[in-house]
Every structure is written in C-alpha cells, then in structure tokens.
Amino acid sequence: MTELPTTTDTRRPAFGAGRVLIVVYGIFAVAATARATVQLIRDAAEAPLAYGLSAFSAVVYLVATVALAHNGRRLRVVGWVTVLFELVGVLVVGVLSLTHPELFPRDTVWSEFGSGYGYVPLVLPFLGVAWLWWSSPRRLSQANG
Amino acid sequence: MDLVVAGGYAVMVGCGALGLWAGIRALRDRAVILKQLIAGGVVEALLLVQAVAALVAVLSGHGLAEPEVFWGYLVVAVLMLPAGAVVAIAERTRWSSVVLLVLALALLVMQYRVLTLWWATA
C-alpha cells in the first residue's frame, strides 16, 4: 500500500453571495412546484400542455437548486444545463405566449416572460448563469493566482 | 380572533423583527448569531402552534375554500427557517444574514396569504 499524499485545502468554500441566490432559487422552485401540483390536481384537463410544462419546469428549478447548492464537478454541469434550459424556456415560451396565445390557454410559469410571477423566472436564469461563471473553480483558481 | 389568526399576527411581527435584525447585521457585515437562531426558533414554534391550531379547527368544522393551497403554505413555511439555520451554520459571512432577511420577508408575505386563505371559508 502506498501512502496517499495528504493535502489541506485552506481555500474558502466558493459561496458567499451565491447562497442567497440558492435560497431564492429554492423558494421559487418550491413555489412553482406547489402551484403546478395544485393546478394538475384541480384541472389538468383544461390546459394539459400549459400545466404539464409548468410542472416540468418546476422540477427543473428543483434540480437546479440542488445542483447550485451541491456545487460538485458533475452537478455543476447539471447546474449549467438546467439554468440554460430555464433561460431558453422563459425566452421561447415568453415569445410564443405573445405571438401564439392559443398554445397556452392557461398561464405557465414562463408565459409573458414570467409576468405572473413578478418576472422572477426571467431574472433567475441570468443570475444563475452569472453565478455559475463567477464560481467556476477554474476561474477562481486563476483569479487567486 | 382564533389561534390561527393570532398566531399569524405573532409570526408576522416576529418575522418583521427578525428580518430587521438580520438586515442590520447584513449592513454591518456580520453573520447570523446564535441569538438570532433562538429567535428564529421562537417564530418556528409559533408556526407549529398555528399549524396545529389550524388542523384542530379544520377537523372540528372550519371550512376552507382552497385547502390544498392553505396546507401547502403552512408546510413550506415550517421548512423555511430550518433551511435558514443550515445556511447560517455553513456560511459564516454577512451572506447568512442576507439569507435570513430574505426568508423572513418571504415568511411575512406567505403569512399574509395564509390569513387571507384562512378567512376565505367554503
């Protein structure tokens, strides 16, 4: 058996302001999941596409929250995928809900760029991308010299 | 005024005070301290008392217009301050104070919704 070299990582965890973003992501993920669940239980048949999309996006927000909070190598990739998915989703559905309102007879979390949710769905992915870029281990290690 | 409403007002006052305290500490670049966690524990106890009171009242005949939404808010509200405590322990910078401020404000708004849902009887 060869002894593994022991090293001590004295760097601070790369969080700080990011924790606030993670908590806001978490609150929004829970709120979106709860609302989508209620909509699906009550009247799924009214607008299956709109409500199904809301439920799916809510799950993506939950995964994004876990990925951002964990901040591991693989979950950071998951974080990038989920946050970019949200960004694309809010932009595409936001435009479609204005140009083709008949596609979404009921509001989704992304309709009209998330106006039903105080535009939080529009702002969060941008903050998520900014955070993932800022907290990148490669960038941080280069910045620290 | 029943225990749910009284508890709701008490939670709102407690969250306002806790949020103010956390906000001041965030501005002064200080992390959350144990005294704030104890204060949060008091608010958490109020939330639990309110939830039990609501359960008893509903079981003995208080009708709710939107029961799923009401119980959703109560369950999530109970989970929020423990999450803040986890962050307070992990993050020993001013940002734990900002997190506590955000959670206190969210709880305040949620409690307003809880009370309007409570008064909207079926």
Whole-number Å distance between alpha carbons of A100 and B114: 35
- Mean per-residue pLDDT for B5-9? 96
Residues in chain B within 8 Å Cβ distance of A38? 68-69, 72
User: If pLDDT is split at 50, 70 and 90, which confidence band does B24 have?
Assistant: very high
Question: Are B102 and A23 a contacting pair at CB < 8 A?
Answer: yes
Whole-number Å distance between alpha carbons of A39 and A33: 10
Predicted pLDDT of residue A142: 82
Predicted pLDDT of residue A106: 77
What's the token pair of residue A50?
A: 């709109």
Whole-number Å distance between alpha carbons of A112 and B69: 24
What's the token pair of residue A145?
A: 């010299």
Q: Tell me which amino acid residue A138 is.
A: R
More confident residue, A84 or B68: A84
Please list, in sequence order, all residues whose beta carbon lies within 8 angstroms of the beta carbon of residue A118, skipping any fewer than 6 positions away: none
pLDDT score of A111 more than 90: no
Counting residues of chain A whose pLDDT is more than 70, the rounded percentage is 93
- Dihedral of CA atoms A16, A19, A21, A25 in degrees, nearest 10, equals 170
**Site of tokens 């144990």:** B34
What's the token pair of residue A133?
A: 């870029």
Q: Which of A2-11, B31-40, B109-118 has the lowest mean pLDDT?
A: A2-11
**Site of tokens 């849902």:** B117
Q: Tell me which amino acid residue A28 is.
A: F
- Mean per-residue pLDDT for A12-32? 86
- Is the minimum CB–CB distance between A34 and chain B shorter than 8 Å? yes
For the segment B67-110, what is each residue's pLDDT rounded down to a tens digit? 988 999 999 999 999 999 999 998 989 999 999 999 999 999 99
Q: With contact defined as beta carbons under 8 Å apart, do A46 and A106 qualify?
A: yes
Indicate the SS3 state at residue A81.
helix
Q: With contact defined as beta carbons under 8 Å apart, do A124 and A24 qualify?
A: yes
- Is the minimum CB–CB distance between B76 and chain A shorter than 8 Å? yes
How many pairs of residues across A and B have Cβ atoms under 8 Å apart?
44
Q: Tell me which amino acid residue A62 is.
A: L
Highest mean pLDDT (candidates A14-28, A37-51, A126-140, B3-17): B3-17
Q: With contact defined as beta carbons under 8 Å apart, do A108 and A46 qualify?
A: no
For the segment A63-75, what is each residue's pLDDT rounded down to a tens digit? 999 999 998 999 9
Average pLDDT score, chain B: 94
- Is the minimum CB–CB distance between A127 and chain B shorter than 8 Å? no
Task: Pick the closest to residue A22 from A62, A57, A58, A59 (CA basis).
Answer: A62
The dihedral through the CA atoms of B48, B50, B53, B54 has a sign that is: negative
- Mutation for B interface: A19, A24, A30, most B CBs within 10 A: A19
User: If pLDDT is split at 50, 70 and 90, which confidence band does B1 have?
Assistant: confident
Name the DSSP class of A8: -
For the segment A123-136, what is each residue's pLDDT rounded down to a tens digit? 999 999 999 999 88
Name the DSSP class of B46: H
Predicted pLDDT of residue A43: 79
Residues in chain B within 8 Å Cβ distance of A18? 95
Counting residues of chain B whose pLDDT is more than 70, the rounded percentage is 99
Domain edges within chain B: 3-119
What's the token pair of residue B113?
A: 């919704």
A56, A104, A117, B93, B99 from A17: Cα distances, Å: 28, 36, 23, 9, 9
pLDDT score of A107 more than 90: no
Task: Pick the closest to residue A104 from A39, A59, A53, A58 (CA basis).
Answer: A53
Residues in chain B within 8 Å Cβ distance of A120? none
